[in-house]
């Protein structure tokens, strides 16, 4: 099971789907990392990646926030589609999900 935790400027992905070697969940995470890095934010994002885990935290000033919101919203939509199509493999938690209080990743 892949668990995805999203808030406004942070993404954490943990686990393995056990479904496909080339998981779409990983590609969404790496695409977001590439987009944030290419955007040239004043403060570089924090990106951590390893076997079965990925974390990205981005920082934006007022002018950059709208671009960052758009990037995160696109990736959020992608994860929700994956979760809807493959509920046994992908679970998405957002900042408003009650489960976050119990399972929120360490920062």
Mean pLDDT of 12-21: 76
Interatomic CA distance for residues 12 and 22, integer angstroms:
18
Query: How far is CA 23 from its chain centroid?
Result: 14
The answer to whether 30 and 100 are in contact (CB under 8 A) is no
Interatomic CA distance for residues 73 and 87, integer angstroms:
20
Contacts of 79 (CB under 8 A, 6+ apart): 4, 6, 25, 28, 90, 92
Per residue in 19-69, pLDDT (tens digit) is 664 478 889 999 999 999 999 889 999 999 988 889 999 998 888 999 999
**The overall pTM is greater than 0.85:** no
């Amino acid at each position: 099971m892949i668990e995805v935790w999203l808030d406004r400027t942070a993404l954490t992905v943990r686990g393995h789907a056990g479904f496909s070697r080339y998981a779409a969940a990983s590609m969404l995470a790496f695409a977001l990392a590439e987009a944030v890095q290419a955007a040239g934010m004043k403060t570089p994002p924090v990106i951590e990646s390893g076997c079965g885990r990925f974390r990205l935290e981005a920082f934006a000033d007022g002018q950059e926030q709208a671009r960052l919101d758009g990037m995160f919203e696109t990736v959020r939509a992608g994860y929700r589609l994956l979760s809807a199509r493959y509920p046994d493999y992908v679970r998405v938690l957002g900042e408003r999900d009650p489960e976050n209080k119990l399972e929120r990743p360490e920062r």
